[in-house]
Amino acid sequence: MPRPTIPQLQSRVTSGEPLVMLTAYDSTFARLAEAAGIDFLLVGDSVGMTLLGHASTVPVTMDDMLHHTRAVVRATQNAHVVCDLPFMSYHCGEDEAVRNAGRAMQEAGAQSVKFEGGARWSSFVTRCTDAGIPIMGHIGLRPQQSSLLGGYPAQGRTAEAAEQLLDDALALEAAGAWALLLEKMPVEVAAAITQHVRIPTIGIGSGPHCSGQVQVMHDVLGLDENFRPRHSAQYADLAAPIREAFARYANDVKARSFPTDKQSVNGGDALAGFPMPRPPRSSSTLL
């Protein structure tokens, strides 16, 4: 099955089928996600925190996004891959913004592009759409604003703020966005937006009434024992088993019980005449 196109994803929503999206940042996990039937992969700027060790998404660069998107695209054939535009890649002029959105497709092979922003970004969305770049808006909590917000609070919690989110959604749709990501807003607000727009809404921390859901892969797999966000669905608890596997490997190397003959190449008769190895040095010889 080839990668689903935008019209195919939109018509699935029209026929009532929820869209399932998961973040992916590398080939191994992208391949596993695709094999599991997840047909919509987001190379999110969350890569900054999940893989690159940053405290927020702010330090993530366009080059980081292209690098990780390429890995996900290379490993998959059936998934629709969305590349996130990182902090400062679309804020310093519309020409540069459109150019960076285009790079995600042209240089990394993404099928569509996501950015954080509402109605004020309408002209950028229209220019991308005119250029043939399918663009997904991201409203509600916008993690790239965390320095201003003082963290990652839920958004749209007053009637006025909720109204603004609905206006943003309608403006982005009118400008040409093909889908919207709704992050961390009240269930009622996400439901109202989903009712009012004709394009798919993909929710995270925004309740069950969106057209689809997205989760961060590390949360789903339980890879970070110290970070378990309330809105995440944890389907495995892999941090402890992975740590245990690493510890067993380390112990085996230290105890010289790895590698064994099974993991070693033996030269045999072909090495006749080669000086025989000396007995292994013990730790006291090393001193």
Residue with smaller CB distance to ligand KIV, 127 or 184: 184
Minimum distance, C-beta of residue 286 to ligand KIV, in the bound complex (Å) = 47
CA distance 69 to 27: 9
Interface residue with ligand KIV, options 42, 85, 125, 221 (CB under 6 A): 42
- Residue 34 tokens, joined: 């695709």
Residue with smaller CB distance to ligand KIV, 23 or 122: 23
Task: Match 């590698």 to its residue by tokens.
Answer: 259
Determine which one of 34, 116, 173, 183 is catalytic.
Answer: 183
CA distance 83 to 66: 8
If you ran DSSP here, which 8-state letter would residue 86 be given?
A: P
Residue with smaller CB distance to ligand KIV, 46 or 76: 46
CA distance 114 to 287: 58
Interface residue with ligand KIV, options 39, 45, 168, 219 (CB under 6 A): 45
Neighbours of 57 (CB within 10 A): 21
Task: Mark the segment that binds ligand KIV (CB under 6 A) among 41-49, 102-110, 170-178, 247-255.
Answer: 41-49
Minimum distance, C-beta of residue 186 to ligand KIV, in the bound complex (Å) = 16
Catalytic residue flag (residue 183)? yes
> What are the backbone dihedrals phi and psi of residue 66, each rounded to the nearest 5 degrees, phi first?
-65, -45
If you ran DSSP here, which 8-state letter would residue 40 be given?
A: E
Q: Binding string to ligand KIV for residues 186 to 205, with x set by CB under 6 A, is what?
A: ------------------x-
Residue 139, SS3 per DSSP? strand
Footprint on residues 224-283 left by ligand KIV (CB under 6 A): none
Task: Match 């702010």 to its residue by tokens.
Answer: 58
Residue number, nearest CB to ligand KIV: 44
Check residue 173 for interaction with ligand KIV (CB under 6 A): no
CA distance 132 to 105: 10
Residue 214, SS3 per DSSP? strand
Footprint on residues 70-109 left by ligand KIV (CB under 6 A): 84
Footprint on residues 102-141 left by ligand KIV (CB under 6 A): none
**Closest to 89 (Cα-Cα) out of 99, 80, 79, 81:** 99
Minimum distance, C-beta of residue 109 to ligand KIV, in the bound complex (Å) = 18
Minimum distance, C-beta of residue 47 to ligand KIV, in the bound complex (Å) = 7
Interface residue with ligand KIV, options 9, 19, 23, 79 (CB under 6 A): 23
Minimum distance, C-beta of residue 175 to ligand KIV, in the bound complex (Å) = 20
**Closest to 179 (Cα-Cα) out of 115, 124, 132, 233:** 115
Residue 269, SS3 per DSSP? helix
Element containing residue 239 per DSSP (H, E): helix 239-254
Interface residue with ligand KIV, options 19, 81, 135, 214 (CB under 6 A): 214
Residues carrying an active site annotation: 183
Residues of this chain that interact with ligand KIV (CB under 6 A) are: 23, 42, 44-46, 84, 183, 204, 214, 216
